[in-house]
Amino acid sequence: MKRLFSVLALLFATLVSWGQSNGYGWPMDIHPASFSSTYGELRRNHFHAGLDWRTNARSGYELHAIKGGYVCRLSVSPVGYGNAVYIQHPDGTMSVYGHMASFRDDLARRIRQEQYDKQSYRVVIYPDPDEFPVSKGDVIGLSGNSGSSGGPHLHMEIRKDGDNLPVNYLADGTYPVKDTKPPVISRVGFYAFEDSMAVPVVRRLQMISQPEKFKGTVSVSDKFYVAIDAVDYMEGTTGRLAVERYRVYLDSDKVYDFKVGDVPYSDGRYFACLVQQGEKGRDLLKTWCPPNNGLLYKIDAVNDGIITLEDDDAHTLKIVVADCFGNSASCSFNIKRDLRIKVFDPADTVGQFSVLWYVPSVYSRDGMTMTIPAMALNASAFVDCKKVARANPSLGRYSDTWSLGDESIHLQRRLKVRFATDSVPAALAGKAYIAQMAEDGTLSYAGNTPVEGGLEAETRFGTYLVMVDTIAPRLTPRVGDGEKLPESGRFSIEAYDGESEVAEYDARMDGKWILSQYVGGRIQIYPDESHRTGRSHNVYVSVTDHCGNSSAVEFEVIY
């Protein structure tokens, strides 16, 4: 009898781990599942197309194929999803596993061979369907923190193969997670809106925290919109998760309705059109729908989300948000028009020029030219362009310093900044570059593409000038000359270039190319078992910055 109970318990555990009514298994043996981010999270710079599964703040959990099929893609990159596996399933779906620490042995061997064949750390491989078949539950590697990741976790997507559409598989019920907690509306902002000219003008009227406790009346202009800061919560996690649906009512009439649903990758960049940028990175969703918004087909809005009051009566504005499980929260405000509210002041646009979002715009003055391509802005806007400092070659500044637009404004396409380089001495012409200056005065490389009479960079709004870099990168090995390497064999070299920054590098061991990557100001070098001889090895690393300055370091290690 005890043996029967043991068998039943094992069977139950297997069903919990792998058996789902829809045929998908769990990617990790961490139960209950917990998420740090979900599908459709409001991010100003990109669309979040999957779920971020928590891994207890550590790497090394076994990752399992959630369904049978074959590995159709392997990707290794220092950014993005980092180490990633893509599995094609017979039902036409694909599962994606990102930020992995490592791959299982046969996948790792295939990747290593490709890296050495291409002499590149960054590789993408598309194996044949019969090369790496997998069954549901097979281990494909270990969870980690590779690529553009802020901490150990698993980013997992499920895509419909026909159109490579990432789906919200939490909403689809793929995993039986419990969620009875409603979203929370933490802030609501009211914004006056003026569109009598070709360029709309926006002014913040009031930001209300803890809106459920607000009892007063909000004074608004005759045209306004609202922005909503709302997050969802779920049992078993403290993560601030994505809200699925936003609705706004004026009295009893619905004036705005946005439901995330499933978003194609081609449309994910338009999430920036939904964002009202807030303080300290806490962004809100705005009801105003800018014209360059590829998500308009998902939004049901009256007058593009601009709410209009035509009388001085008191009105009720109600906001309702819901998660993908149907849990909802709401808040209401008493609002009243105040015609004394002034939205547009011509004095505010002094020194600015108007940019229409649907045509190219060029601003040129004193050797600097900024070109904004059509469709770059989400909406037409006044752009501030001003000279903030004059050229001073004695300080290494070979052009005037220009502040161009608001750096926080999201661009759908990059703008071009061009500087004349007449003031750069001929002997230094090949060492000039365009630098971007941060608010604290620190400089970073923006570009140095040669054009007739100057340099050009594809970039974004910000503060720019021309600098010259004649200093080679500084290399500092983190292992001593003749030192014995650790068991893993891995070691690093600090590579610092405080001006035009590192552009390329090359690492050699005993005269042959060796796998390495440049990340976080360090070159990480990865010897493998083929290098383990117990004897001394010669290491040679060279680095070149964007202005062609090079340096190298050579030393011995024992492995």
Q: Final residue of a domain: which of 166, 194, 211? A: 166
| Mean pLDDT, rounded, for 98-112 | 98
Who wins on pLDDT, 347 or 66? 66
Give residue 375's pLDDT: 96
Query: How many whole angstroms separate alpha carbon 241 and alpha carbon 148?
Result: 19
| Mean pLDDT, rounded, for 296-311 | 97
Say if residue 356 is in the same domain as residue 290: no
Q: Is residue 5 part of a domain?
A: no
User: How far is Cα of residue 156 from the mean position of the Cα atoms in its chain?
Assistant: 15
CATH (domain of 515): 2.60.40.10
**Dihedral of alpha carbons 271, 295, 267, 95, sign:** positive
Give residue 209's pLDDT: 95
DSSP codes, 377-437: SSS-EEEEEEEEE--BGGGTB-S-EEEES-TTS--SS-EEEEEE-TTS-GGGGGGEEEEEE
Note down the domain range covering 245.
184-337
Say if residue 235 is in the same domain as residue 300: yes
Q: Final residue of a domain: which of 418, 441, 468? A: 468
List Cβ neighbours of 63 (8 Å cut-off, separation of 6 or more): 27, 28, 85, 97, 100, 139, 140, 141, 142, 143, 154
Confidence class for position 10, pLDDT limits 50, 70, 90: very low
Say if residue 306 is in the same domain as residue 384: no
Give pLDDT tens digits for 40-88. Answer: 988 777 789 999 999 999 999 999 999 999 999 999 999 999 999 999 9
| Mean pLDDT, rounded, for 348-360 | 88
Say if residue 247 is in the same domain as residue 350: no
Give residue 461's pLDDT: 97
Say if residue 243 is in the same domain as residue 328: yes
Over 50: is that where the pLDDT of 3 sits? no
Query: How many whole angstroms separate alpha carbon 21 and alpha carbon 10?
Result: 19
CATH (domain of 449): 2.60.220.30
Say if residue 148 is in the same domain as residue 273: no
Query: How many whole angstroms separate alpha carbon 259 and alpha carbon 242?
Result: 11
Confidence class for position 15, pLDDT limits 50, 70, 90: very low
Say if residue 412 is in the same domain as residue 488: no
Give residue 22's pLDDT: 63
Give residue 1's pLDDT: 43
Which amino acid would we find at residue 454? G
Give residue 280's pLDDT: 65
Query: How many whole angstroms separate alpha carbon 526 and alpha carbon 312?
Result: 71
Low-confidence winner among 13-22, 68-77, 141-150 (lowest mean pLDDT): 13-22
Q: Name 209's bridge partners.
A: 187
Q: Is residue 174 part of a domain?
A: no
DSSP codes, 188-218: EEEEEEE-SSSS-EEEEEEEEESGGG--SEE
Q: Is residue 6 part of a domain?
A: no
Query: By percentage, how much of the chain surpasses pLDDT 70?
Result: 95
Domains held by the chain: number: 4
Residue pair 46/271 in contact by the 8 Å Cβ criterion: yes
Say if residue 193 is in the same domain as residue 333: yes
pTM (2 decimals)?
A: 0.90
Give residue 45's pLDDT: 72
| Mean pLDDT, rounded, for 19-27 | 73
Say if residue 400 is in the same domain as residue 527: no
Q: Final residue of a domain: which of 295, 310, 337? A: 337
Over 70: is that where the pLDDT of 111 sits? yes
Q: Is residue 368 part of a domain?
A: yes
Neighbour-count burial of 297, counting CB atoms closer than 10 A to its CB (0-12 exposed, 13-18 middle, 19+ buried): exposed
H-helix or E-strand containing 75? strand 69-76
Give pLDDT tens digits for 379-401. Answer: 999 999 999 999 999 999 999 99
Say if residue 148 is in the same domain as residue 30: yes
Residue pair 283/276 in contact by the 8 Å Cβ criterion: yes
| Mean pLDDT, rounded, for 161-188 | 90
Give pLDDT tens digits for 441-465. Answer: 999 999 999 999 999 999 999 999 9
Q: What mean pLDDT, rounded, does the chain reach? A: 92
Percent helix, strand and coil across the chain, each to the nearest 5: 15, 45, 45
Give pLDDT tens digits for 476-524. Answer: 999 999 999 999 999 999 999 999 999 999 999 999 999 999 998 999 9
Over 70: is that where the pLDDT of 268 sits? yes
Over 50: is that where the pLDDT of 185 sits? yes
Say if residue 244 is in the same domain as residue 145: no
Q: Name 70's bridge partners.
A: 88, 133
DSSP codes, 42-72: --SS----SEEEE-TT-S-PEEE-SSSEEEE
Q: Is residue 11 part of a domain?
A: no
Confidence class for position 8, pLDDT limits 50, 70, 90: very low
Three-state secondary structure call for residue 14? helix
Q: Is residue 49 part of a domain?
A: yes
Query: How many whole angstroms separate alpha carbon 6 and alpha carbon 335?
Result: 65
Confidence class for position 281, pLDDT limits 50, 70, 90: low
Say if residue 358 is in the same domain as residue 437: yes
Q: Which residue has the tokens 């980690």?
A: 144
Give residue 236's pLDDT: 81
Give pLDDT tens digits for 413-441. Answer: 999 999 999 999 999 999 999 999 999 99
DSSP state at residue 281: G
| Cβ neighbours of 136 (radius 10 Å) | 17
Q: Is residue 173 part of a domain?
A: no
Q: Is residue 12 part of a domain?
A: no
List Cβ neighbours of 121 (8 Å cut-off, separation of 6 or more): 76, 78, 115, 515, 516, 517
- CA triple 544-545-548, angle to 5 deg: 75
CATH (domain of 136): 2.70.70.10
